[in-house]
Structure 1
């Protein structure tokens, strides 16, 4: 869960998000070292009026500033390609959920069940109870079993939307007439919040996403209750 004045990412709740955090730290360290070196060179050049005649024309320096950036880019690209592969990997999902974006709410359909689906609207501020979060709570949560591969099919009914849950490392565009898919594994129980990440109209900021990860037996109990009474 994000908190005020937060500068970093949310705590990881999936293996992919953990990899993204590691990659962020890796790339940030490289950028920090490069920035420090460039700043040192600029300060050194500005603070002296002397000129080194040996660096006005140096083939060795030209080789270094050509080869070194190429090596740095490779060091950044290789971990990035690995994460891209992990994000596209989808092996035998335990559960498939279809998420459809509307102006301005989400609808969910559990395709492994014959009749399990619901719409999720934002809870208005005046209806919130103590402990709930403004603009982030929905009247229905997308409940999933923890430590299980989940596939989400994402589409839209009207305009472009984007289904995004930062703690799970998931962001997928919802395009009308097109079915995109993404997958994740919730590594720990909890409630994870997201929002539509594609400007979709006047109430774009009022269509939150709430994912609740629970143990498998709790999920089975929840699905049984929903099948008996969809209004829950």
Structure 2
């Protein structure tokens, strides 16, 4: 059942998404203040029948209208540059995973572990169990230890796809013949979902992404069972 909370972004599960959420909220406050200021100014002019001479022919007002936007842009630029740096923070990854987009499924390779690779197909609606998420469940999940630096490398096997997980704040195109990379770390255990965000054909909406964040010990056990 949809709720009002679903209109907002998903709960952040990584430091990058936290920074993006903060930047979104901060910018929305500034936009709201600008909208209120302009609206009150128009209302004031309409109520007191003031002409445009007060706005375009008054030297003090013109200086204010010029300097104020500069300070607003500087206020927005500071958290924006910080968020951009975190999105491309070149830290040393502990685990590297390669995601290859195909029509219409994902294939994964764990570069640090030999012979650990698998495909991930969406589970049909008729095979879903109770409390499963329609169009989001997969037969194989990407298992990742939390609080661990992860490097995800993306490429395409046929057409352009896009590997996206909103709660982690990560999105990278999977382009055939090209490798893109993104760095992230998950700060808490749980299951996180994403989907291909590039229109890649008829079944574009049927290639979901499912990540399971687990403790390191559980991850090691999963690797030993999967190899």
| Local SS of the residue matching 1:91 | coil
Deviates more, 1:85-94 or 1:50-59: 50-59
1:63 CA displacement: 1.2
Q: Which residue of 1 aligns with 2:65?
A: 65
- Rounded to whole Å, the distance in 2 between the matches of 1:194 and 1:23 is 22
Distance 1:223 1:65, change over 3 A: same
TM-score normalised by structure 1 residue count? 0.93
Q: Which residue of 2 aligns with 1:136?
A: 136
Distance 1:90 1:3, change over 3 A: farther
Distance 1:188 1:42, change over 3 A: same
Distance 1:30 1:56, change over 3 A: closer
1:51 CA displacement: 3.9
- Rounded to whole Å, the distance in 2 between the matches of 1:16 and 1:52 is 45
Deviates more, 1:37-46 or 1:22-31: 37-46
| Local SS of the residue matching 2:61 | helix
| Local SS of the residue matching 1:155 | strand
Q: Which residue of 1 aligns with 2:40?
A: 40
- Rounded to whole Å, the distance in 1 between the matches of 2:199 and 2:65 is 41
TM-score normalised by structure 2 residue count? 0.95
After superposition, give the CA deviation of every residue in 1:9-54 in whole Å (9 maximum; x if it has no partner): 1111001111111111110100010011111112222333344865
- Rounded to whole Å, the distance in 2 between the matches of 1:186 and 1:103 is 28
Identify unmatched segments of 5+ residues in structure 1: 228-232
- Rounded to whole Å, the distance in 2 between the matches of 1:68 and 1:119 is 54
| Local SS of the residue matching 2:97 | strand
RMSD: 1.6
- Rounded to whole Å, the distance in 1 between the matches of 2:183 and 2:49 is 59
Distance 1:118 1:54, change over 3 A: closer
